[in-house]
Amino acid sequence: MKAKKVALATLGCKVNQYESASLARMFNEHGYEVVDFDRTADVYVINTCTVTHLGDRKSRQLIRRAARKNPEALIVVTGCYAQTAPGEVLAIPGVDLVVGTRDKARIVELVESHRREKGPLEAVSDVFSAHEFVELPATALTGRVRAFLKVQEGCNNFCAYCIVPYARGPLKSRRPENVLEEARRLVAEGFKELVVTGIHTGAYGLDRPDGPDLAGLVAQLAQIPGLLRLRLSSVEPLDVTEELLDVMASRENICPHLHIPLQSGDDAVLTRMRRQYTAARFAALLDRVRRKIPEVAVTTDVIVGFPGETDEQFARTCRFVREMAFSRLHVFKYSPRRGTPAAAFPDQVPAPVKEERSHRLIALGEELARDFAVRYLGRRVEVLVEEPSPEGEGCWEGFTGNYLRVSFPASACLRGELVTVRGEEERSGHLKGALVQ
């Protein structure tokens, strides 16, 4: 009997990427062949994001693309857009099955049930009634040297602009023994770098007072034999504790890189956003981080055009971003999300103004990335070799521990190895260099 084919497309964050890998494994274990999304398949799964309007639009585009590719295929939509607007998603022509964020572990069962019974189906549970981390099958990421390790789900912060708590529900920390078991298995499978990720990663353990917090968990993970690198994904400012910094500084295999979302450099905007810190407190945090971990790279997120943001407040954010000397920026134009407080705020910023501010801040981010890369010209850096580089044939690339992308002439046999490279040229915020034998 010919194996049924399933194709998956993923939008959004590292958590979605982790979960899509788990979904692929689930389908594979039930006899499905996992194929590229551009190929003809019997089932298409779109794992959606709804952080911005752009995420919703891309989700709809992928749904339409799948329907054109095979009108007879079963089209399944899951993820945050599916959770927060299931009726809207189910009304999109071609959609057969909508699966909420809590119900992903049942996705194959739901697909098989739908194939027997036909007709549009919605399987979306109330995320606020769930208080336990739902385990998905261990991921099977082939052909990669870096793997994501999801340690928690949900968020209790309810920032004024953010839809994520409504899509993911309250904080749910994964049992530490399950985290460690998966980490050991991934290392045994050959992964050299693990990225600790979650919806609100820094809050790990707050709902499990009898277990470790994030610092304690990271300390245990870093001791796994054979793990070359452990990297943290986004950690909120108030969650970067002295204990976490001490753990990071004490272990060579913990990457000296922190992604700490800023969102705005203006205190009045931060207050309206419901962010629980000031620009001064953020600056003091970065000073502590850099004193504890001298070669650290700090990357960040910034939202432009939040309701009521004035030209002066935006200029203050630009000055603050420059002063903080981030190594890389992720810039987001504010996008009203139905159901969040900020969507009803007065003084919504016009789209052309948001666009212009976005361009200005992106340009500043590119300048800061170049400044960071230039610091490593003529220096030796350790690079984990990952994939062929677009720089040209015979070139490979990877990242330093502090998240600087480096390309260099090399052979494919070095893939997955830690190598020493001397930085020779800065190119658009990255380094080009040569292997040091």
Kindly state the tokens that stand for 58.
Answer: 């891309």
By CB atoms closer than 10 A (0-12, 13-18, 19+), residue 226 is exposed
Alpha helices in 327-350 (DSSP H): none
How much is the mean pLDDT over the chain? 93
pTM above 0.85, yes or no: yes
In order of start, what are the domains of the chain with their CATH numbers? Answer: 5-125 (3.40.50.12160), 130-255 (3.30.750.210), 259-374 (3.30.750.200), 380-435 (2.40.50.140)
**Nearest-5° Cα angle at 293, 399 to 229:** 40
Confidence label for 116 from pLDDT (cuts 50, 70 and 90): low
Q: What is the mean pLDDT of residues 85-92?
A: 90
Strands ordered across the beta sheet of 229-232: 172-173, 146-153, 193-198, 229-232
**CB of 296 closer than 8 Å to CB of 402:** yes
Each residue's pLDDT tens digit, 165-221: 999 999 999 999 999 999 999 999 999 999 999 999 999 999 998 999 999 999 999
Each residue's pLDDT tens digit, 377-399: 999 999 999 999 988 889 999 99
